Amino acid sequence: MNTQILARIFLALTCAASLCSAPAAHAERLKDLASIQGVRQNQLLGYGLVVGLDGSGDQTTQTPFTVQSVISMLQGMGVNLPAATTLQLKNVAAVMVTTSLPAFARPGQTLDITVSSMGNAKSLRGGTLLMTPLKGADGQIYAMAQGSLIVGGVGAAAPGAKAQINHLSVGRVSAGATVERAVANSLQEGSAIFLELKESDFSTASLVVDAVINALARARQRRRTAASSRSMHRWARMSGWLFWGRSKAWR
């Protein structure tokens, strides 16, 4: 008898363990499997100047484009320098500004930007990026950037010794760019929406189609149910009945 009881207990425990170890159903979000055609990020690029550097800027004798940029900027502000003027600047650096414009970014939204030295500046720490237009691949201006840089690198130098952690020639400006114009996408051009699988195969495509059809069917059913409930509510109010739960009362 004890042997039979132990055998039954062992069988029950074995069945329970097998049920607990059974793999759970795994579901993937549609956004992880596919993306909407024509909806994507757009890269923006701009050329600008960083000022306010503590003697760690470009060596103007070796980077003539920095001097040319400074002269052009001053002329745009109404400052004209004599033709024979030679600028010896140590607190200015020519930089490239990059960022990504989200698909649904609207004018007024802010973006984080990355500022990278393109000359021979030793460090961008403590610098301020002057107003820089950011253009897309089509040459149009989509954002304007400006702000104080945050540099993650640290460096120190002494006669015969030098230490540096991370890069000093790259910095970031949090919310340093403001979107000036939005990018048109395919959703604004028509009613059809096309999904592009990130890893195309027939089984995944079939599962995605079934999931979308089922989701749309459930949404239509909910709308029909809600419309029916509203119609019944209007009819009840017009006929003098007020329904609450399963009870009814004469108004």
DSSP 18-78: HHHTSPPP----HHHHEEETT---EEEEEEEEEE--SS-S--TTT-HHHHHHHHHHHHHTT
β-pair partners for 234: none
Band of residue 219 on the pLDDT scale cut at 50, 70, 90: confident
State the pLDDT at residue 43: 97
Mean pLDDT for the stretch of residues 76-102: 91
β-pair partners for 173: 113
Does 212 have pLDDT greater than 50? yes
Mean pLDDT for the stretch of residues 166-172: 87
Does 41 have pLDDT greater than 70? yes
Contact in structure between 183 and 39 (CB atoms under 8 Å): no
Stronger pLDDT, 203 or 235, i.e. the higher one: 203
Band of residue 28 on the pLDDT scale cut at 50, 70, 90: confident
Instruction: State both tokens at 25.
Output: 């159903």
Does 178 have pLDDT greater than 90? yes
CA-to-CA distance for 61 and 12, rounded, in angstroms? Answer: 85
The rounded percent of the chain whose pLDDT value lies above 70 is: 71
Q: Quick one: which of 127, 146, 156 has its CA closest to 58?
A: 127
State the pLDDT at residue 102: 93
Does 114 have pLDDT greater than 80? yes
Stronger pLDDT, 203 or 173, i.e. the higher one: 173
For the chain, the farthest-separated pair of C-alpha atoms sits apart, in whole angstroms, at 112
CA-to-CA distance for 147 and 227, rounded, in angstroms? Answer: 53
Instruction: State both tokens at 61.
Output: 């004798």
Contact in structure between 107 and 181 (CB atoms under 8 Å): yes
